[in-house]
Amino acid sequence: MDIIEIENLKHRFSDGTLGLDYINLKIKAGAFVVVAGPNGSGKTTLIRHLNGLLRPTVGSVKVAGVSVQQDLLRARRLVGMMFQDADSQIVGETVYADVAFGPENLRFDHDQIRERVALALEVVGLKDFSDQRPHLLSGGEKRRLAIAGILAMEPKVIVFDEPFASLDYPGVKQVLKQILTLHQAGDTILVITHDLEKVLAHADRLIIMHKGKIVRDGVPAEIIGDIETFGVRAPCASQLGMEVLSWLN
């Protein structure tokens, strides 16, 4: 079953710049997809259509069979989004309050909110940080907090926008491990990045974007050969003709 269906999606910004140029894309439930491309290729613009943060100029976006435009709240509940800058995503004064933000917006009662927050914090391993101030967490912990905030809303698709940006090696491993746990639990994962090295070993599909278009789409090993033409650096291992290994090994 396709959980995301994008048809003829075109987006033009108010200043006239073309963000997306007639994109057609279907993503199966439970897939692990990496979307790569240079800066300004339209990656972030594309994912912001998945939960209605941006509206299409032309075309349609459906999540689990229903148009995003038709039911915005449903789309935002089903598609959780982790942004590049984890600091700007933090809205609560404590770790607990931040994770509770989403369920509070969905108007759950206090008992349900407590349950969801406890579960989400348990999954990301931040249970003991409940009363901690979020801004004092490390980079990796902040990303995990952002993931917990999304998990508390019980989404089906989780989108990570540059999840490894400005993280140290232990931070990258923490976040990557978390992404894989979510994928194993059945969530559909979309990772937006221009740095394939850290995540490609786990992806079952690679999409390359360039100037608002999808220029390559397929199994990573099959399409990785010429991706540098589009301004995306291929992982070192693949350049040497070897298999790309996981950062967790």
Partner 1 sequence: MAELTSFSFHPGSSLLHKLDVRFKIFFLILISLISLGCGFTGLCILTGLLTALIMHSHLPLKSGFKEFRFFIILLLLILVARMLATPGTALFETKSIAITRPGLMSGIRICWRLVVIALLGFLFVFTTRSSEIKAAVEWFLKPFKFIPAKHIATMMGLIVRFIPVILNQAKETAEAQRARCLENRKNPFYRLIRLGVPLIRRTFEQADRLIVAMEARCYSENRTDAILSATRIDWIALLIIFIICGGIVSI
Per CB under 8 A, the list member of 105, 166, 229, 239 interacting with partner 1 is 105
The two structure tokens encoding residue 122: 């348990």
Q: Which stretch binds partner 1 (CB under 8 A): 11-19, 48-56, 208-216, 221-229?
A: 48-56
Q: At what angle do helices 139-151 and 110-124 cross, to 10 degrees?
A: 140
User: Contacts with partner 1: how many residues (CB under 8 A)?
Assistant: 36
Q: In what order do the strands lie in the sheet with 205-210?
A: 79-82, 157-161, 188-193, 32-36, 205-210, 213-218
Q: Which stretch binds partner 1 (CB under 8 A): 4-12, 104-112, 177-185, 187-195?
A: 104-112
* Alpha-carbon 248 to chain mean position: 19
User: 56-95: which residues touch partner 1 (CB under 8 A)?
Assistant: 73, 76-77, 80-81, 83, 85, 87-89, 91, 93-94
User: Minimum distance from CB of 126 to partner 1 (Å)?
Assistant: 15
Site membership for partner 1, residue 178 (CB under 8 A)? no
The two structure tokens encoding residue 55: 């509206």
User: 9-28: which residues touch partner 1 (CB under 8 A)?
Assistant: none
Site membership for partner 1, residue 106 (CB under 8 A)? yes
Using CA atoms, how far apart are residues 72 and 46, in angstroms rounded to an integer? 16
For residues 190 and 47, is the Cβ–Cβ distance under 8 A?
yes
Q: Binding marks (x or -) toward partner 1, 135..154, rule CB under 8 A?
A: xx------------xx--x-
Site membership for partner 1, residue 55 (CB under 8 A)? no
- Name the H helices within the chain: 43-47, 72-78, 86-89, 95-105, 110-124, 139-151, 169-184, 220-223, 236-239
- Would you tell me which residues interact with partner 1 (CB under 8 A)? 48, 51, 53, 73, 76-77, 80-81, 83, 85, 87-89, 91, 93-94, 97, 101-110, 113, 131-133, 135-136, 149-150, 153
